[in-house]
Structure 1
Amino acid sequence: MYSFGIREVVAGLQDVGKLLESVCQFPLIDCTNLIAAITGPNCCIKPSTIEALLDHAPQSTSTKNLVHLSQIILVRQGNIAMYDYGDESENKAHYGQSTPPLYDMTRIPKDIPLFLSYGQNDALSDVYDVQLLLDNLKNHQKDKLVVQYIDDYSHLDFVIAANAKSIVYDPLMAFLRTP
């Protein structure tokens, strides 16, 4: 879509339906549960919450954002790079080099408080990706870093699971209140 000059995917338009339809053609994607196909199997979301979510999703975004997300998810080179324009001269024009630069996670200040929560079933921010981040944070001040692993959680469980308040948000709020 981006290469054809379509710069925005607007929620509710026919383009989104066509995109979802084409995604459902890929092997191994079970579109009977499209959310799980994208985010991983969620453990703790009520059906009524899913219905409410689908009434308001997907949200509008730029096609460039979707392309970049797919580059991160599909390429999986063990790093996180800036947007790849797919052409050495375009990358050079934007970044001064033929390939997109990597985000340097080691530059995150070592004294900034971080609360990282992740789950075994998250297909968008999977355990491997989180481990890459944690490897980059190995010198972070230990009292400023809380890592919470939730065995059965997937991507959307962190946001809308029935037990997210007690499992995720209460510990997060306690962390934020720590002096």
Structure 2
Amino acid sequence: MILYNLILFLQFLCRPRVKALVGSLCARNPRIKCYDLLTAVTGLNCCLNSTNIELFLKNEPQSTSTKNLVHFAQTFRNGVLTKFDYVFPSANYRHYGQFFPPRYNLENIPHDIPLFLSYGGIDALSDVPDVRILLDILKFHDPDKLTVQFIKEYAHIDFIMAINAKDIVFKDVLSFFKRYA
């Protein structure tokens, strides 16, 4: 149990090591294109250029805890959004007072809280079917407080690094924040 807990809190993706590995792969093997590595995970980003990729690799990927990745995998595997499953019923009971982790009930999000939801048509991480499930859960949300932006040609990284994100995404996000500040 001690080893299990230790592994959960270890850092995953120590950035200097990952950066060195990816940089080495990209520089030494002309058949490997860094853009393709990113696309394999995020979907075919429409609007990146090589300068964006270089900038991305200077700052990403950021480290995270192994526990965070295990939780993501649990959610993906089970298809249910719950609190972290400690696997051992006794550990779950210690944390939650029950043998299995409680589900997050997204319907409990206050209906009058402002929400901005932006998603892309070719995003491999936040794909359209999953976003539609979320939108169905939010169907009773106050329509004046829910802003949904769909960008058909965008994949995951386009939302932060596309050459046109300033005009397509950021202006709407800033407008949303000004409206509810």
- Tell me if 1:62 matches 2:68: no
Which structure 2 segments of 5+ residues have no match? 26-32
Runs of 4 or more consecutive aligned structure 1 residues displaced over 4 Å after TM superposition: none
Alpha carbons 2:85, 2:92 under 8 Å: kept: yes
Aligned mates of 2:17, 2:41 — CA distance in 1: 20
TM-superposed CA distance for 1:152, in Å, is 1.3
For the pair shown, the structure with the greater C-alpha radius of gyration is 2
2:47 aligned with 1:72, yes or no? Answer: no
Contact 2:39 2:45 in 1 (8 A): yes
**2:141 aligned partner:** 140
Instruction: Give the direction of change, closer, same or farther, for the CA distance of 1:65–1:162 in structure 2 (3 Å limit).
Output: same
Gapped runs of 5+ residues in structure 1?
Answer: 22-29
Normalising by the residue count of structure 1, what TM-score does the alignment of the two structures yield? 0.81
Matched, 1:36 2:61: no
Tell me the residue number matched to 1:171.
172
Listed one character per residue, the Cα deviations across residues 25-74 of structure 1 (whole Å, up to 9, x for unaligned) are xxxxx98722111112111111111111112222121111111122223x
Q: Alpha carbons of 1:95 and 1:31: their partners in 2 closer, same or farther (altered >3 Å)? A: farther
- Whole-Å separation in 2 of the counterparts to 1:131 and 1:109: 19
Q: Identical aligned pairs, as a percentage?
A: 47
- The alignment yields a C-alpha RMSD, in angstroms, of 2.6
Q: CA deviation at 1:102?
A: 1.2
The 8 Å contact of residues 40 and 123 in structure 1, kept in 2 or not, is answered as: yes
Shift of 1:88: 2.2
Query: Is the alpha carbon distance of 1:101 and 1:31 closer, same or farther for their aligned partners in structure 2, counting shifts above 3 Å?
Result: farther
